[in-house]
Structure 1
Amino acid sequence: MEENKSKTNNNPKLKNNIKIVNAIRDNLIKIKTSTNIDYDLDFNLLNKYIKDKELIGLGEATHGTKEFQNIRTSIISHLVEKIGFRTIVLEESYAYCLRINSYILDGEGTAEEAVSEGLCFPWVFKTQETVALVKWMREYNIKADENSRVRFYGMDIQGSEKTIEVIDFYIRKMNFENYNMIKVDLDFCNEKVNKTKYKSLKEKISKIEEYFRNNKNNFIKNSSKREYSEVYHCIEVYRGWIECARETTFNIRDKFMYENTKWIIENEKKYNEGKVIIIGHNDHISKGISTNMGEDRQLGYWLHNEYKEKYYNIGFEFSRGLFYSKDINSYELKVFEVDKTIKKDLAARLFEETGISMFYLDLNTSSNESLSLKNFITKTNRYNSIGAIYDDKADDWGIDDIILGEMYDAILYMKDSNNTSLLK
């Protein structure tokens, strides 16, 4: 069927929209909640959509919604315990997240310390909700055998200061006597680099890489294969960062997040079947291109291009409520409140009309059973997309024009959003 890029009119009183709402209601999987953190989702129904997938993308329409982070933990626990997923990748710094991986594998410190020290961004995932996930991973690993343990990584190349620190600390530990001759002399690159600096940094990181390769056997002997592999990959992460610092676009950042995630996927096959859960903003895990983002390709686009039907992604959506973000003008972290569903004619307007406050909807299967719903997900629609910065004075801020069927395999909808509980 040829796609229709005309925008939808989501007035629920329109005859065709009544059909769409009925089709959604007939095909959704209802989610119930008994407490703020326990969600009752019929995973037997969900399994038919995800049981044969190797990569699952879990999104979020805001970075600061409690319910999104909580229900992800419920889904992750099911994917790990029942379907054999063993690796979790977060939209966070690769180097920073090594701290969390150490905690869940080795029990170093506490979950609160691991989250506080193991995340780059000062608030996005530094929450009590993330602590609950990390605690669950640690408790699972205590009981699991060596090949069944969960591992945790960051996909992002940001956090260059930690990347440098990890490389530097490892070299110091491996060769303390000669450290002054080989110590890391890199730059955080917090600003865009010019051609001269770019060339210099590339030469420096190449020398460090050569040093690692020449001393691989000795380094592994004095640490471990896992530690050597994790630190060596920091070299590639830093190389990606200096490329990003030269071009500074979301497009190149997402391409390197993809390269990083691909390395993690392949590396994890040393330990298990390589089934990976990928957590990030809706925009990053999406397969297609939002019509108001130009030619930018996101992480999910590259994953889908590489892994085809093995990658299955779930976009999270809501209608109204509270969330954390940073004010675009003051850069102060605030709790914002939105209710744009009706005013801005978002797709969530029809989701809300179902009368079900929380549900899961597989778009592929559902659209095959309803021509009206198929037309709905192949037209340009409006969808919440609120990131780390928010402008409450701009009516259309945090709203993407997208074609749902091109972007996601499924939607997880929650009517209400409440802000996360920040870690103190």
Structure 2
Amino acid sequence: MDGLGGVARPLRDAADLDPLLERIGDARVVAVGEASHGTHEYYAWRAALTRRLVEERGFGLVAVEGDWPDCARVDRSVRLRPGGAEDPRTALDAISRWPTWMWANDDVVDFCRLLRAHNAARPEAERVRFAGLDVYSLWDSMHELLAWVGEHEPDHVGAARQALRCFEPFGEDGAEYAFAQRFAPAACEATVVELLHRLCEARGADDDPDDRFAAEQNAAVVVGAERYYRAMVAGSAESWNVRDVHMADTLDRLLAHTGAKAVVWEHNTHVGDARATDMADAGMTNLGRLLRERHGADDVVLVGFGGHRGGVVAGREWGAQVERMTVPPAREGSLEALLHRELGRDALVVVPGGQRPAWLDERLGHRAIGVVYRPERERWGNYVPTVLGERYDAFLWLEETTPLQPLHLEQPDENVPPAAHAV
């Protein structure tokens, strides 16, 4: 169907993913990207692939670019745990940190309802988990941690309050904390690291393993978020690296805790190997690179997405109200323009081992739309120089895309974290 060396196959329904499942084989981690955080088709195809991996290959963990406390509420619902919402939509609709639409949208609701139905027919120990890997939830994680310690480790309440009191002067404002460290560096990291060590050493025989793991992870988030906000004022590469290393560390802890095989949902910019882009030249690593380095290429499969034109939901600046926007036809000379010209229809590309078509080793601009998007910048921005055959193991190409349907619109006082990046 193509003039690209015969590596592209039609992509019409979930059965057309067979070559990708064959490529995945016995890999333990499959990281699935998206070319934007606001496109229905990327979420729908990612869910279709994940459903097949869960049902046919026994994957037991879905780990996403979301906050740990928010995703823990979703997990309680999809695993039918005590206190969990009967409908995952309730848990997703409660997400209040901007950009809410990343997870509070119709596509994620549909997937989580399927996951809950799948889990309802399985023993509790075999139910598929839903977890967040991101680093932004500093104050939410502190509140969750303090509540857990008060109920389960009363001997450590004093230490927990002392550790978290360090952050109180900043009024739950990550930016204020970050800039305060620039002028009067007295980082709160050490007190929280000490608390985390105490929790890890104090495991009791009667502990619920999942509940204690969640408490330890909330402490790890506080440590990671503190480092992230402090790094924000030092430079974009450092803060980016802190965030992606935190996500890789969190995934490793989840893999060790659950013993499961994992599907990861994140943006292409995190999933695709940074060494195949200009990110490495800027001193940046990412999750995809870390996964390959830590687990080996045979145990990790990286899957990217791209599209030619259509629609998306995004904000015009960080913290802005979400809008439906038009995604124009791909810029000339880009990867997307090449695929549109040579294919002209939805397709699956599985990168072959050994000898492969030359275009897979060309360095081409590859469109990346984050939570912030300005279509008028397409002429000079929004593209990442990419060697596709090195960045991903497989690629899903979509000619026409449509916007996600958010569950709700952000409110004027929405919780907007400070951030150095928009993906």
Amino acid at match of 1:325: A
Percent identity over paired residues: 16
Alpha carbons of structure 1 residues 276 and 182: separation in structure 2 relative to 1, 3 Å: closer
Secondary structure of 2:151's aligned partner: helix
1:345 to 333, 337, 340: 333
> Structure 1 residues 215 and 46 mapped into 2: Cα distance closer, same or farther (>3 Å)?
closer
Counterpart in 2 of 1:35? Answer: none
The CA distance in 2 between the partners of 1:28 and 1:181, in whole Å, is 57
Q: Which has the larger radius of gyration?
A: 1
Shift in alpha-carbon separation, 1:174–1:80, aligned structure 2, 3 A: same
Judged with a 3 Å threshold, the aligned counterparts in structure 2 of structure 1 residues 258 and 215 are, in CA distance, closer, same or farther, namely closer
Q: Alpha carbons of 1:364 and 1:119: their partners in 2 closer, same or farther (altered >3 Å)?
A: farther
Counterparts of 1:306 and 1:416 in 2: how far apart (Å)?
A: 36
SS in 2 for 1:393: helix
Match of 2:317 among 322, 328, 342: 328
Aligned with residue 406 of structure 1, among 366, 372, 390: 390
Residues of 2 paired with 1:111 and 1:421: CA distance?
Answer: 16
The 5 A counterparts of 1:309-324 are: 309=297, 310-324=299-313
Correspondent of 1:185 among 162, 165, 168: 165
Choose from 64, 79, 93 the match for 1:116: 93
Which residue of 2 is the match for residue 46 of structure 1? Answer: 20
Q: Which residue of 2 aligns with 1:285?
A: 271
Stretch deviating more after TM superposition (53-62 or 195-204): 195-204
Counterparts in 2 of 1:308 and 1:127: CA distance versus 1, 3 Å: same
Select which of 333, 342, 345 maps to 1:357. Answer: 345
> Cα distance, 1:119 vs. partner?
7.0
1:202 CA displacement: 2.3
- 1:135 aligned to 2:113? yes
CA 1:143–1:325: 2 relative to 1, 3 Å: same
Query: Cα RMSD (Å) of the superposition?
Result: 2.5
Question: 1:120-199 residue pairs with structure 2 within 5 A?
Answer: 120=97, 121-174=99-152, 183=161, 184-187=164-167, 188=172, 190-191=174-175, 192=178, 193-194=180-181, 199=186
Superposed, 1:27-42 pairs within 5 Å as: 27-32=7-12, 39-42=13-16
Which letter maps to 1:259? D
Decide which moves more: 307-316 or 258-267: 258-267
Quick one: distance in 2 between partners of 1:200 and 1:401? 36
Cα 1:360–1:206, aligned 2, differ >3 Å: closer, same or farther?
Answer: same
Aligned twin of 1:9: none
Deviation, structure 1 residue 70:
0.9
Q: Deviations over 1:348-378 (max 9, x none)?
A: 223223445211111224x73x5xx2x2121
Equivalent in the alignment of 1:233 = 217
Residue of structure 2 in register with 1:242 after alignment: 226
In the other structure, the counterpart of 1:419 is: 403
Residue matched to 2:249: 259
Which sits farther off after the overlay, 328-337 or 310-319? 328-337
* Aligned amino acid, residue 34 of structure 2: E
How far does the alpha carbon of each residue in 1:267-301 deviate from its partner, in whole angstroms, 9 at most, with x for none? 221xxxx3110110001001133226622111111
Q: 1:390 aligns with which of 355, 373, 390?
A: 373
Q: Which amino acid aligns with 1:403?
A: V
Q: 1:165 to 1:31 in 2, by over 3 A?
A: same
Normalized against structure 2, the TM-score is what?
0.84
Task: Say if 1:135 and 1:242 are closer, same or farther in 2 by CA, change over 3 A.
Answer: same
CA distance in 2: counterparts of 1:60 and 1:332, whole angstroms = 21
- Structure 2: gaps of 5 or more residues: 233-238, 409-423
Q: Residues 181 and 283 from structure 1, CA distance in 2 versus in 1: closer, same or farther, beyond 3 angstroms?
A: closer
Name the counterpart of 1:11.
none
Q: Secondary structure at the match of 1:331?
A: coil
Alpha-carbon distance in 2 for matches of 1:198, 1:226: 35
| 8 Å Cα contact 2:146/2:160 also seen in 1 | no
* Cα deviation 1:179-201 (Å, max 9, x = unaligned): 57853435346121517976451
The 5-angstrom pairing of residues 203-222 of structure 1 reads 203-209=190-196, 211-213=198-200, 215-217=202-204, 221=206
Distance across 2 between alignment mates of 1:189 and 1:202? 16
Question: Residues 333, 89 of structure 1: CA spacing in aligned structure 2 closer, same or farther, 3 A cutoff?
Answer: same
Amino acid paired to 1:256: H
Q: Could you say what secondary structure the match of 2:149 adopts?
A: helix
> Partners of 1:399 and 1:82 in 2: how far apart?
35
| Residue 27 of structure 1, CA deviation | 2.8
Structure 2 residue 55 is matched with structure 1 residue 81: yes
Question: What is the alpha-carbon distance in structure 2 between the residues aligned to residue 175 and residue 262 of structure 1?
Answer: 25
Q: CA-to-partner distance for each residue in 1:165-189, whole Å, 9 max, x for gaps?
A: 2101112323679957853435346
- Taking a change above 3 Å as real, the CA distance of residues 102 and 22 of structure 1, as seen in their structure-2 partners, is same
User: 1:208 aligns to what SS in structure 2?
Assistant: helix
| Matched position secondary structure for 1:23 | coil
1:36 corresponds to: none
**Structure 1: runs of 5 or more not aligned:** 1-19, 33-38
For normalisation by structure 1, the TM-score amounts to 0.84
Report the AA paired with residue 307 of structure 2: F
How many Å separate the matches in 2 of 1:288 and 1:417?
Answer: 25
Distance 1:123 1:237, change over 3 A: same
Distance in structure 2 (CA, Å) of the matches to 1:382 and 1:171? 49
Cα deviations by residue, 1:102-142 (Å, 9 ceiling, x for unpaired)? 11112511211111235744222210101011111111110
